[in-house]
Amino acid sequence: MTMAIAANVDPMLPQPYSVRQVVKETPDTFTLTLESSAAGGNRFQPGQFSMLWVFGVGELPISISGDPAERDRLVYTVRSVGQATQTLVSREVGEAVGVRGPFGTGWPVEKAQGRDVLVIAGGIGLAPLRPLIYEVLHNREKYGRLVILYGARSPRDLLYRKELAAWARQRETQVLVTVDYGGLNWRGHVGVVTTLFKYARLQPAGSLAFACGPEIMMRFAARDLETRGLARENICLSMERNMKCAVGFCGHCQYGPHFICKDGPIFSYDRMRPLLGRYEL
């Protein structure tokens, strides 16, 4: 586990950050950039999350969605679904947010070196995958083809629209987007994200797949990828459960023999396959 500010910071102690920028991505989703006046940069692995302390409301786990190379800030993309997320996305520039972490396992990016990389995202699931995409694009020569498959509920729910277009212009990179409901002006794909598999130009047997989205999407995606020749241990999933401490003490996020907060949130499909589809174990 890497710590945000210094290795000896108490993982239970929120560090003071302030809001530098808030960008509206969709009607209910916002990207917040936080900065700290403390010395030392922010280090995290793509796929890790922080516990964000919203004063007077509570604390919640949110994945880091920014570029790991930008050490002077922490970036989060938050969908407003309840009281804590609603209050968080309503923060004004300069207001304070407490940050613990980063916590959890990262995407095993090094394992993907020399191979094709398949990114599969559903909805807000693109947020924890964006640092991985940055990592691959910053080190393009180390990886094979990069294929990004992204599904959202409707065109107005698509995150990072400008970046999706910019990524599609990179060499050896393919970006395919689909929506559940297209509406009159949508000319793109309609259907669940797995319907895009047939258009992906990569060698499944040698690829590593990284998926994040609703659990049912990941379950079907992993099953489909396996039939297309990907080994179970080369399919990585980001799991989500309600959590409190984020360091494996409280047991809130226990899922079978695993604590999602410290053993995950990233797991290989071979470890998750027996558990997937069961919310309580």
Ligand X SMILES: Cc1cc2nc3c(=O)[nH]c(=O)nc-3n(C[C@H](O)[C@H](O)[C@H](O)COP(=O)(O)OP(=O)(O)OC[C@H]3O[C@@H](n4cnc5c(N)ncnc54)[C@H](O)[C@@H]3O)c2cc1C
Residues found near ligand X in the complex (CB under 6 A): 49, 60-63, 77-79, 81-85, 124, 127-128, 240-243, 265
Q: How far is the CB of 169 from ligand X (least distance, A)?
A: 26
**Residue nearest ligand X, CB atom distance:** 82
Q: Please identify, using beta-carbon distances, which residue of 128 and 204 lies nearer to ligand X.
A: 128
Number of helices (H) and strands (E) in the chain: give both, helices first.
6, 15
Task: Pinpoint the alpha helices (H) of the chain.
Answer: 83-89, 126-138, 161-168, 215-227, 260-263, 269-272
Cα–Cα dist 72/50, whole Å: 16
Q: Please identify, using beta-carbon distances, which residue of 49 and 143 lies nearer to ligand X.
A: 49
User: Is omega for the bond preceding 265 within 30 degrees of 0, making it cis?
Assistant: yes
Q: Please identify, using beta-carbon distances, which residue of 175 and 246 lies nearer to ligand X.
A: 246
E-only strand ranges, the chain: 15-26, 29-35, 49-54, 58-63, 74-79, 96-103, 117-122, 146-152, 173-179, 189-190, 208-212, 235-238, 254-255, 258-259, 266-268
Q: Please identify, using beta-carbon distances, which residue of 61 and 144 lies nearer to ligand X.
A: 61
Q: How far is the CB of 15 from ligand X (least distance, A)?
A: 18
Q: How far is the CB of 84 from ligand X (least distance, A)?
A: 3
Q: How far is the CB of 34 from ligand X (least distance, A)?
A: 13
Q: How far is the CB of 49 from ligand X (least distance, A)?
A: 4
Q: Please identify, using beta-carbon distances, which residue of 107 and 143 lies nearer to ligand X.
A: 107
| Tokens representing residue 41 in the block | 């940069």
